Amino acid sequence: MNLLEINDLTSGYEGVQILWGVNLSLEKGKLTTLVGSNGVGKTTLLSTVMGLLRPWQGTVNFEGKDVTNLPAHARAKAGMVLVPEGRQLFTEMTVLENLEMGAFSPRARVSFKQNLDKVFELFPRLKERAKQKAGTLSGGEQQMVAVSRGLMAEPEILFLDELSLGLSPLLALTLFESLTRLKKTGLTMLLVEQNVSMALAVSDYAYVLAEGRVHLEGPARDLLKNDEVRRTYLGI
């Protein structure tokens, strides 16, 4: 069953077209990854799907309903939650306060304590730093807060934009391992990522975006073995 279906999506900024008829679907309970070079439209796609950018053409269907014209806050309330590139934390607020900001919906507020226990189990380091200002954390710890804030919203789909950006290989590995654990809970996720080898290694299905179009798609393990992917993105 597909939880999200994107059909013939065309979008751009101020008259400059970035996406050209993109088709993409997310199977419920699966981790899907979207990879591609800088500037091919990955973040534009996320912004359009989340309602931050209005599509020029095409539809976005979530749980069988057309949400193409829904505002961003309504999509978030329905369970479409974005962990943005660059983290975008409230740096003068504590870790706990940032997590509280994630639990904005009535459904999430009811389950706040339960969800807080889950994210502290996923990232024990955050429990140790719960009263520390987010701006004083390391880059990896800030990314943990960003992911956890998204989880506090009780997402039906969690969109993750450039999870490993600016992180050391060890910290990136820790975060990718957390996705594997989340996948086992049945959470549906879309990962937009430049670290192609790690992204494909943890994902179920993958899309390769090139020049604003889906260039390749298939089971992630198959794309990891694909000669073109290995040559272009992995340098093999």
Task: Kindly state the average pLDDT of the residues 29-55.
Answer: 94
| Percent with pLDDT over 70 in the chain | 99
Task: Kindly state the average pLDDT of the residues 185-214.
Answer: 95
Start-to-end Cα distance in the chain: 35
pLDDT at residue 20 greater than cutoff 90: yes
**What would the pLDDT profile of 141-176 be if each residue is shown by its tens digit?**
999 999 999 999 999 999 999 999 888 889 899 999
Longest Cα–Cα distance in the chain: 49
d(CA 178, CA 167): 15
Task: Kindly state the average pLDDT of the residues 44-70.
Answer: 96
Report pLDDT for 162: 92
Report pLDDT for 236: 61
d(CA 94, CA 8): 42
Task: Kindly report the number of other CB atoms within 10 A of residue 101's CB atom.
Answer: 14
Report pLDDT for 166: 87
d(CA 108, CA 114): 10
**What would the pLDDT profile of 102-149 be if each residue is shown by its tens digit?**
998 888 889 999 999 999 999 999 999 999 999 999 999 999 999 999
Mean pLDDT of the chain: 94
| Percent with pLDDT over 90 in the chain | 84
Report pLDDT for 39: 85
User: Which domains occur in the chain, in start order?
Assistant: 1-71+190-236 (3.40.50.300)
Pick the closest to residue 44 from 90, 13, 15 (CA basis). 13
Task: Kindly state the average pLDDT of the residues 40-63.
Answer: 96
Task: Kindly state the average pLDDT of the residues 30-37.
Answer: 94
CB 190 within 8 A of CB 81: no
